[in-house]
Amino acid sequence: MDPPADNPLLQMLQIRKAFSGVEVLRGVDFALRRGEVHALVGENGAGKSTLIKVLAGIHRDHAGRILLDGRPVRFTGPRDAEAHGIAVIHQELALVPHLSVAENIFLAREPTRLGWLDRRAMRRQAADVLRDNLGVEVNPARQIADLPIAAQQLVEIAKALSRRAQILVMDEPTSALSDAETQRLFSVIRQLRARGVGIVYISHKMDEIYAIADRITVLRDGEYVGTAAAADLPPERLVQWMVGRKIEQLFPKHAALPGPERLRVAHLWLRDPAGDRWIVQDASLHVRAGEIVGLAGLLGAGASELLGAIFGRYGTPPHGLILVDGRPLAKPAPRAALAAGLALLTNDRKTSGLVLPMSVLQNLSLATLDRCCRVGVLSGARERARCRPYAGRLRLRVRSLGAEVASLSGGNQQKVVLARCLLTEPKVLLLDEPTRGIDVGAKADVYTLLNELTAAGLGILLITSELPELLALADRILVLHRGRIVVELPRHAATQERILHAAMGGA
């Protein structure tokens, strides 16, 4: 492929943006050429999302200049940015749950006929966009709320592609996609690049950045660090640009010294709440103090549902036996699970992990309010005293604990959920994608924290879709296929090939 032209399609020059007097972008420069994939990277809180919201017309009160094809523009709002050929797929999905796939893709751009909404044309066009651009068959009449999160992510991508934008921004677009779906998306990106579309790609996954990006720009603490061709920027130097320091060892050594059994699950069955099939079938496992047990499987294999069943997050209790420290959990339900010493971090912080309109402090203390009371009355001083050390322990970047949790970056929101789990002083942590949307520096902090927790006697049941992370952290790996645990692999025998072979139903 010919190299992109030197004349930039987009230039953002000396962009500055402040919130409540605190400057979060300090003179940032960014340029995008036609027909290139330009990765924008940095730690959580580095300013990536704020810069993109400036480009999308969401933040209008900013300093600096934006040039499109060399012409200065100043967007009056998101619709103005869209009219100039800019489409953004934000990290948090912007779909209406109770509308159909087609209605979400063409929201505010619905096709009409003789002044009336043409639903047939809208569904046909939606199916075409999904099939022709992403190679997937999704019923366009199906309600968004009925789709798994990975399918919702694909609908969000289809919505952006349907606008035929010249600049496409993708903020963590593969966070909920399987490996096969990610490769399909990369194929779409390459087709768009060949058509001259400029793509801004935001991701914390190093392998993705180097697989798809032509150039890389790094931000740190709201400032521009540098831009380089991906081929000229080795991963070690990229990490140093991002975090301002060398990370000698991303995965710290985890020496398991298993103690007494913390959790035992015996012959657990869970029926799909929305149907009549078994989504977890005859699952048995155990977790000992001081060890990390990993759960692996393809999307829909039942790993997340197994964690949810253990914690009792579904209305219908599962069949089977759950023991914590040898004591049966008679009625699996979140309150009983917390009291027994279980804590669950879900894989979707926006809908099931956080109460977005509430403050950071309120979200941190939500599961332990009874421990923040004096004579039955909530004590703000006690609440802050309990929560502040955990915010520091996880290096939570926030101006104040009173800030609205929705104002935090995705990675910092994830840290809030993890800190809330630790505040319950659990015996067993059920972690479903704990590093999703977290930058490389914060990942290293989380890995160190997990080591400290297991050294202190906690047991951890871990799901992560990043196989190198799973292989490095887990002492044992249980592989699921269609709701069943089909194999257990000790660390020394586990490889990516063996895990994938078992996950796909191999013997």
Both 229 and 274 in a single domain?
no
Render each residue's pLDDT in the chain as its tens digit; 507 residues.
333 446 799 999 999 999 877 788 999 999 999 999 999 998 777 889 899 999 999 999 999 999 999 999 999 999 999 999 999 988 777 899 999 999 999 998 899 999 899 999 999 999 999 988 777 788 999 999 888 777 888 898 888 888 888 999 998 888 777 777 788 888 888 988 998 999 999 988 888 999 999 999 999 989 999 999 999 999 888 988 987 766 556 677 666 678 999 999 999 999 887 667 888 999 999 999 999 999 998 777 889 999 999 999 887 778 899 999 999 987 778 999 999 999 999 988 888 889 999 999 999 999 888 888 888 888 888 999 999 998 888 888 888 899 999 888 777 888 899 999 999 999 999 999 998 877 777 788 888 889 999 999 999 999 998 888 899 899 999 999 989 999 999 999 998 888 988 887 765
Tell me which residue of 311, 301, 297, 295 sits closest to 280, measured CA to CA. 301
Q: Look at residue 400 and tell me if it is in a domain.
A: no
Question: What Cα–Cα distance (Å) separates residue 233 from each residue in 41, 406, 425?
Answer: 13, 34, 42
Both 21 and 107 in a single domain?
yes
Domain boundary among 212, 243, 274: 243
Both 279 and 238 in a single domain?
no
Q: Look at residue 43 and tell me if it is in a domain.
A: yes
Counting beta carbons within 10 angstroms of the beta carbon of residue 393, is it exposed (0 to 12), middle (13 to 18) or buried (19 or more)?
middle
Please check whether residue 426 is in contact with residue 459, taking contact to mean a CB–CB distance below 8 angstroms: no
Both 216 and 306 in a single domain?
no
Query: Using CA atoms, how far apart are residues 368 and 354, in angstroms rounded to an integer?
Result: 14
Q: Look at residue 396 and tell me if it is in a domain.
A: no
Both 205 and 60 in a single domain?
yes
Q: Look at residue 166 and tell me if it is in a domain.
A: yes
Both 226 and 327 in a single domain?
no
Both 192 and 45 in a single domain?
yes
pLDDT of residue 78: 92
Angle subtended by helix axes 179-194 and 149-161, to nearest 10? 10
Domain total in the chain:
2
List of long-range contacts for 451-456, beta carbons under 8 Å, 24+ apart: 451/252, 451/254, 453/422, 453/429, 454/254, 454/256, 454/290, 454/291, 454/292, 455/290
Domain boundary among 210, 243, 276: 243
Q: Which domain holds residue 223?
A: 10-243
pLDDT of residue 4: 41
Both 233 and 266 in a single domain?
no
Please check whether residue 354 is in contact with residue 417, taking contact to mean a CB–CB distance below 8 angstroms: yes
Q: Look at residue 111 and tell me if it is in a domain.
A: yes
Both 103 and 175 in a single domain?
yes
Both 329 and 458 in a single domain?
yes
Q: Look at residue 484 and tell me if it is in a domain.
A: yes
Outline where 203-333 has alpha helix (H): 206-212, 235-243, 303-311
pLDDT of residue 373: 87
Both 237 and 328 in a single domain?
no
Q: Look at residue 30 and tell me if it is in a domain.
A: yes
Both 16 and 147 in a single domain?
yes
CATH of the domain at 483: 3.40.50.300
